[in-house]
Each structure stands twice: as C-alpha cells, then as structure tokens.
Amino acid sequence: GLGFNIVGGTDQQYVPNDSSIYVSRIKKDGPAYLDGRLREGDKILAVNGKELKDLRHKDAVELFRNAGHDVSLKIQHRLQTQNGPVGHRGDDGDSGGLRLAAILVPGLALAAAAVWILLRHRQRM
C-alpha cells in the first residue's frame, strides 16, 4: 500500500457536511512516512489527477488501491491549531515546540529546586 489510512466519503463523513477524503493515519516506515510530505489530517483532493469529489469511502479506497506504483496526490494540509495569533508555519516544519520546551524545562527545574530548598530549610527548623 501507500502507507496511510483514509477516512471520509459521502457515506462516512469525517467532518460534518464535508464528504472529502482525509488522511487518518500514516503508517510508520511506510512510503508516505518515508516521503514525509503527507500529514495526518490532510485532505486529499485528487489521486493521479482524478478528483476525489462525491465518492463513497469504499470507492476512494479502490481508487488508492488501483493507483499504481508512482502516485501523485493533490492535498490540502490541515490547519494547525495554535495558541496566540494565527501565523504561517515555516517550511522547515517547526511549530515552535522546541522554543516552548526551552522555556518550560528550565522553569520546571527552578521550581523543583525551590521546593527542594524549602523542604531542606523546614527540616532544619
């Protein structure tokens, strides 16, 4: 297979009032995972030039099964939910998680040290 699962279709809407086909899961070490461009939650608009409009789920699955070895997908990436103002996610795929960890980890370490000092001080009293 192509290394991912899909959800959606006219008979199994994944998003209310939207019969589009979405990537539900990318299988680790499969072709889609190794390629790296497809993400869970992406909407698949077309396979090898054939639009995926108004298809039942099983018909979309058949289309993928018969897509051949070289497959071209037209996709729409899902919107990333974020805190704060809406921004553009960089091409490098950085969502800001590392910057957040750089703030949280030292902060948690300081809090743990403060609790340890407080407990040591109380023991001496």
**Tens-digit pLDDT profile for residues 16-69:** 999 999 999 999 999 999 999 999 999 999 999 999 999 999 999 999 999 988
Residue 92 domain-assigned? no
Provide the residue type at 102 as one letter. Answer: A
Sorted by sequence, the CB contacts under 8 Å of residue 19 that are 6+ apart come out as 8, 9, 10, 13, 54, 55
Residue 10 domain-assigned? yes
Residue 101 domain-assigned? no
pLDDT-wise least confident of 25-29, 65-69, 90-94, 105-109: 90-94
Residue 9 domain-assigned? yes
Residue 107 domain-assigned? no
N- to C-terminal Cα distance for the chain?
68
To the nearest whole percent, how much of the chain has pLDDT over 90? 57
Which domain covers residue 16, as residue numbers?
Answer: 4-76
Domain tally for the chain?
Answer: 1
Residue 46 domain-assigned? yes
At 119 the pLDDT is 72
Residue 43 domain-assigned? yes
CATH of the domain at 53: 2.30.42.10
pTM: 0.62
Place of tokens 């499969």: 30
Question: Distance between CA 35 and CA 106 in Å, rounded?
Answer: 35
Question: Distance between CA 121 and CA 46 in Å, rounded?
Answer: 66
Residue 103 domain-assigned? no
